[in-house]
Structure 1
């Protein structure tokens, strides 16, 4: 299946609730909380926070999006499974950022002002399944190597690297080293849309895991190249988002 003109959709946790405030799961009662099976999800989005509230230990999901955090808070419950830090003011991530949260499965740092994701940032997060670093326009696709290196032994299924490059920046070539570590994973969905990628190094597609089902490379500036022939090696691919018309998949 060939899909063109797909708009990248970041990973979003379902932590928004209809109705009133609901249950209480933080000491200051800032957040909207919902109990599910004896555990809590907390929506603390858009509260102008710079410091995390104090949560009950059985909170497993926290939405801290649309706040003013410049660093990942280190006082959240250690059993955290879901964390949304999108649209804050994060500048860098390193090996201390998520070391405390070793059980985390779903993480978004989309839409921050990240300039660097250091090697080792996700080295302790073996349970991570869904990661969104999209819309950090100063990272460029160079961030893909450090992120994927840390995830080699993880449970990663979905990776969103969309829009890591400014709209009018110099075009880039996706090299083998950008994706070589992904071959060790069981990744099912990869989004590299909107990165001004003009070409793929021959052999790069062959390094993607055969578990891949969805590949989004739409809204780039791709030109014709021999890499086109390599799509055939992704024999389990179900959806290819490709904003060009010279490939037709039957």
Structure 2
């Protein structure tokens, strides 16, 4: 059981498929971590694979530990801030379409964004605080994917206008916003500091498939905040990150 100032740190070491998401590797393919992650979850793509206790070398490694919530990422160094946003209301935050709910809330709210976009192939991290309603103890491991996908999507832009009207119509049935506003949010180049993709959202079966560049998110942190009122709320930032420089000892 974590103490009040501890969060779960989940790290994966080794090579991954180019389009694989770290949060999927360390969380969704393993479990929800209901108890260990009750105060929050931090995840990272580690660097070199550490040797086993007996010295055996393995191609990859998973590591889970409880760390101080005030500590920083262990394997990445923070760079410039790409986007930041203060407390933003998420309403009831119910149902299965959580990425769309986070995307809409942030797309229509005030946010500080960098004037220069992230360069292609530049790694980044997302840090968020999430405030649940009073009387609620969320299973954060089950919410990380939807929240992070929504945040990343909110700071990317959509460039392919083919079938955009149909895509906006389908999204509007989920978030109850007019299609004109949805199209404007999707095409907003100024806010798309994480870059533009041809089809950030695309018609898929009877709904919509979101396709943000979350595979470049190599580290993330979700910290639980004290409840205030009956609604969910979120605040956070997106930052560029890089590997710390290794200085050889002379």
Structure with more of its chain in helix, by fraction: 2
Which has a greater percent of strand?
A: 2
TM (norm. structure 1) is 0.26
Higher relative contact order (CA 8 A, sep 6+): 2
